[in-house]
Amino acid sequence: MSSDLIGLSQDRLDTPHLLLDLDLFEHNIRHISSYCQRHGCGWRPHCKAHKSPDIAHMQLRAGALGITCAKLSEAEMMVRHGIERVLLANQLTTQSKWDRLAQLLDRAEVIVSIDDAAVLPWAAQAAGRYGVNIPLVLELDVGMGRVGLQDLQATVSLAEQIHRDSAFTFRGLMGYEGHVLNIKPAHKKEAACKKAIGILLQARDALEAKGVACDIISAGGTGSYMFTAAIPGVTEVQAGGGIFMDTKYRDEFYVEDLHIALRAVTTVTSHRPGQLVTDAGFKTLSAHHGPPLVLSHEGIGLEYLSAEHGVYSVAQDRNLPALGERLELALGYTDSTTVLHDQIVGVRERVIEKIFPLEGRGLLT
């Protein structure tokens, strides 16, 4: 049983597994939360990286105003575990999903983002059927080109339509400036953030001129929170993956002041000159947004992942790790690796202190 691991050395864990340094993890949570607070901005962290209600509650205790979920089933799970303030950052496009959403609203505030008036009849029918009022935000395309309203007048018209309908409460606007994350140097990235967020603020001003209040201006991921949270008018940022950190955020998106707290641990199962193989393949790790990086040994780099094997090259001037020796890996991108695991093991000074079940694993609807 997982609870039997508490108090043991991390070396007692079989591999492969995900290991979370609790000191670094707690630092990351405190840093993001306090940074937002210093700039008068709320923190509504995205939970798609961790899918853990225990971690969500830790974030709330650290000052988060709520959480963000990518999928309705994630929101349902979080509400079952006592999370009372959720932003669902994905448009619902079936009657059954709107009905499921409406059934959450007697236990929690679950705000839904939309970008198309075509979904409102489904939403209104669900609101009437369950006797609830559905809070909505409009998602705008602030430059990423993925989803969101692209026209200011269309935004104003849709917001006014929602504002007039007793089935709904219009809460505000959201957008994601994901297209700016890899811009360098920092001052150019900051300018790109301000330009993107300016689209939200322009729409807010247009709506308020029409008498439609915008309580929420939501944006910002881990790769941009340091600039977005400092923009006057932004009420909350959704930075989520930074609590774990990975090489994509550090090396590609230039995120500083956060530490790589989550690692994968794998064991050497075979080797030959210049090469070793471990027990963690693509069913354990993801290289989708970047390969895992070996932290525990120098001169070792990933060649490829097969189903249950990780194949690594070893520099000629380095000794091969012995069979049974462990490698610790920084993840290329945490979101695409955590979903492969049932739990994350939290350690402090190499002693197992906490097990985080990933209750949201597999919740895709």
Structurally, the chain folds into a number of domains equal to 1
> How do strand 300-305 and strand 310-314 relate by DSSP bridges?
antiparallel
pLDDT of residue 65: 98
Averaged pLDDT, 67-91? 98
In a domain, 334, yes or no: no
Residue 84 belongs to domain spanning: 22-245
Residue 2 falls inside a structural domain: no
Identify whether 28 is part of a domain: yes
- Tell me the pLDDT band of 88, cut-offs 50, 70 and 90: very high
Q: Is the pLDDT of residue 143 over 60?
A: yes
- Angle of CA points 191, 197, 199, to nearest 5°: 115
**Phi, psi at residue 334, to the nearest 5°?**
-65, -40
Coil/strand/helix, residue 337? helix
In a domain, 264, yes or no: no
Q: Write down the pLDDT at residue 288.
A: 87
CA quadruple 294, 2, 261, 83: dihedral sign: positive
Mean pLDDT across 195-204: 98
Average pLDDT for 349-363 = 97
Confidence of residue 3 (pLDDT cuts 50, 70, 90): confident
Query: Is 291 inside any structural domain?
Result: no
CA 137 – CA 176 distance, rounded (Å) = 13
- The answer to whether residue 353 is domain-embedded is no
* pLDDT tens digits, 50-73: 999 999 999 999 999 999 999 999
Q: What is the pLDDT of residue 2?
A: 76
Q: What is the CATH number of the domain that holds 240?
A: 3.20.20.10
Is residue 152 domain-resident?
Answer: yes
Tokens 């998602």 -> residue: 139
The residue type of 267 is T
Q: How many CB atoms lie within 10 A of CB 15?
A: 18
pLDDT at 1 over 80: no
Percent of the chain with pLDDT over 70: 100
User: Is the pTM of the predicted complex or chain greater than 0.75?
Assistant: yes
pLDDT tens digits, 304-339 = 999 999 999 999 999 999 999 999 999 999 999 999
Within a domain: residue 330?
Answer: no
Q: Where are the alpha helices (DSSP H) in 39-185?
A: 53-61, 72-80, 95-102, 120-130, 152-164
